[in-house]
Structure 1
Amino acid sequence: MTKLSINLNKIALLRNARGMNFPKVLDFAELCVKYGTHGITVHPRPDQRHATYQDTFELAEFCQDYPDVEFNVEGYPTADFLEVVKSAKPDQCTLVPDAPDQITSDHGWNTQSENHFLRPLLADLREHGIRTSIFLDPDPSLIPSAAETGADRIELYTE
């Protein structure tokens, strides 16, 4: 069955551009759940221009009241990001190969050359009870090496 997860980053971006707590990310999460979404996703970046680490914690708490709604946090695995994820304990963490100063995602992991980097990170997240996913280019030749990373799932990058 197809499931829909809504990314709330643009709501957070609009809030941050206004310099106040409106629109509220949690209000939109409630609307998403009310209208039947299966998941909530955020991608807190180091500069926190979209969703913030605080949003991540608040949404993690919010999703605890909705066990059928999956919470996914995606981002580049900096030490700070990984600490937030392990503390917030989302249902899933999707690792994305964005440079810290990158404006938006524009590619997936090269699992053939970055397998050694990803494998221990994914194992650590799983040890903390977090399902793992990696952002991958839609290239069939990457699938075998993606499986070797130990990721539970993949998300395909599309333009």
Structure 2
Amino acid sequence: MTTSLSVNVNAIAFLRNRRNLPWPSVEGLGRVALAAGAQGLTVHPRLDERHIRFSDLPDLRKVVDDFADAEFNIEGYPTRQFLGLCRDAGADQVTLVPDDPSQSTSDHGWDFRKHKTFLVETVAELKGLGIRVSLFADGDGDEDTMDVVKDIGADRIELYTGPYGGSSDDPNRASTILEQLGRTADAARARGLDVNAGHDLTAANLPKLVHRIPYLAEVSIGHELTADALTHGMAETVRRFRKACGQPI
């Protein structure tokens, strides 16, 4: 199995929004990423529209539609407004995250037991629209939690890899966290769930993650990929990350 790469374009939008100008073009760079072989685009529209604007969604949907088999992944906290955006934009996958509006970025997974009823209802609504649903999950090695996720009815989990990415200067800690992520992923797979991953993944730390979780379905990468693109260009950076995913280039 080859791990798919979905390019998160939030950081590009954040840079654009510093000025009342149309560049850098979120749609244009999204198109470059897909032309270089990325399998999808990811956005996280927030209520304050500080990066992705709601008006970006239909334009990005059109970009994705120009590439066979590419997917549009929309992530966020499931307010009624957010669910409407996902429906209207024709999301292929929705990744539900437990963010507070004041958070700068996603930094923890769901408490699945506490929010089970809410998530059951939300997942059912999205799947009724034909949308694949992934739930943001802590990769803490708690295998029993995956029983709850299975009961909720999600198709996938997305492992929160922030602690792994943040331990680049401590190889022993990185190895410990990687094994916890792996145990969580193994437990999810044993229950028929597919596994995605995202947050602070780099071309350097991604190969070890893919090696430990060889059935990893998809990674969603934005901040580091965008930073690397400042040096290497978007097309070359996508190729570097595809290689890190184990894809043939």
Same-fold call, TM > 0.5? yes
Task: Determine the structure 2 residue equivalent to 1:22.
Answer: 23
* Aligned positions, number: 159
Are 2:99 and 1:66 aligned? Answer: no
Task: Determine the structure 1 residue equivalent to 2:45.
Answer: 44
Alpha carbon RMSD of aligned pairs, Å?
1.0
Query: Are the counterparts in 1 of residues 95 and 133 from structure 2 also a CA contact under 8 Å?
Result: yes
Are 2:152 and 1:152 aligned? Answer: no
Query: Are the counterparts in 2 of residues 8 and 25 from structure 1 also a CA contact under 8 Å?
Result: yes
**Structure 1 unaligned residues grouped into runs of 5+:** none
Are 2:11 and 1:10 aligned? Answer: yes
How much identity, in percent, do the aligned residues show? 46
Supply the distance in 2 between the matched residues of 1:111 and 1:61 (Cα, whole angstroms). 34
**Partner-residue secondary structure (3-state), 1:73:** strand
Are 2:145 and 1:142 aligned? Answer: yes
Supply the distance in 2 between the matched residues of 1:141 and 1:59 (Cα, whole angstroms). 38
Higher-RCO chain (CA-CA 8 Å, sequence separation at least 6): 2
Are 2:102 and 1:96 aligned? Answer: no
**Structure 2 unaligned residues grouped into runs of 5+:** 163-249
Supply the distance in 1 between the matched residues of 2:47 and 2:58 (Cα, whole angstroms). 15
Deviation at 1:67, TM superposition (A): 2.9
Supply the distance in 1 between the matched residues of 2:62 and 2:145 (Cα, whole angstroms). 35
Q: How does 1:102-141 map to 2 (within 5 A)?
A: 102-139=103-140, 140-141=143-144
Deviation at 1:71, TM superposition (A): 0.8
Task: Determine the structure 1 residue equivalent to 2:178.
Answer: none
Query: Are the counterparts in 2 of residues 93 and 133 from structure 1 also a CA contact under 8 Å?
Result: yes
**Partner-residue secondary structure (3-state), 2:55:** helix
Deviation at 1:79, TM superposition (A): 1.0
Supply the distance in 2 between the matched residues of 1:150 and 1:65 (Cα, whole angstroms). 31
Shift >3 Å, 4+ stretches: none
Supply the distance in 2 between the matched residues of 1:64 and 1:144 (Cα, whole angstroms). 35
- From the CA coordinates, give the structure whose radius of gyration is larger: 2
What TM-score, normalized to structure 2?
Answer: 0.62
Query: Are the counterparts in 1 of residues 46 and 101 from structure 2 also a CA contact under 8 Å?
Result: yes
